[in-house]
Chains A and B, each alone.
Chain A
Amino acid sequence: DAKTTQPTSMDCAEGRAANLPCNHSTISGNEYVYWYRQIHSQGPQYIIHGLKNNETNEMASLIITEDRKSSTLILPHATLRDTAVYYCIVRPFVAGGSQGNLIFGKGTKLSVKP
């Protein structure tokens, strides 16, 4: 079962910041938080990941609370093409890399509106 809780759906106005929350209250010390999104009929697209520090890349920012029990994905200027299902996933770092299965929950359906 997924170890995260996300709202089922959210709306955002085009050009505004989209803030997608994720609760992972049972996260362990060696577990990373990953964010993916899936646009209809395409494969999941990696967005960003982090352990405990906030992270930023060209797509988004990831804010992780100090206790690591929740995080927020921020799309700074949402466009219509950001409409997708967004998944928050926790996965442990596995030494040796022999495993690495991702367990996707139901995610948040983000609708960006003009």
Chain B
Amino acid sequence: DVKVTQSSRYLVKRTGEKVFLECVQDMDHENMFWYRQDPGLGLRLIYFSYDVKMKEKGDIPEGYSVSREKKERFSLILESASTNQTSMYLCASRQGGSNQPQHFGDGTRLSIL
């Protein structure tokens, strides 16, 4: 079975902190994605990576960065957390070069106080 694991289900941080969200997939997928989900706004793409050390900005990259040093791991970094980054963060992975679907983790609900 497909497995995408996000390191935390719930996280509480303070304004100005540097926050790391980790995602690991065990399917040897080339593509990995970070979304945030907010009520009324649906899922919005923050960043995606199509291979190790490769990344592209999504629709809302401001205030975020990513790291993909190994194929199975994709990290989302909030450089200096702000209250408007309180959200549900979802990681997904997908086999590259195909019509195969994205598979999602269970999400991290992040609260910035």
Contact = CB atoms under 8 A, between A and B. Distances in A.
Interface of A: 2, 32, 34, 36, 41-46, 49, 51, 93, 95-106
A97 B31 contact: yes
B71 interface: no
A98 B101 contact: no
Interface string B78-113: 000000000000101011111101111111010000
Contacts of B105: 43
B107 to A, nearest CB: 5
Contacts, number: 66
A101 B99 contact: no
Contact of B31 (A36, A42, A45, A100): A100
A44 B99 contact: no
B106 A97 contact: no
Contact of B95 (A41, A97, A105): A97
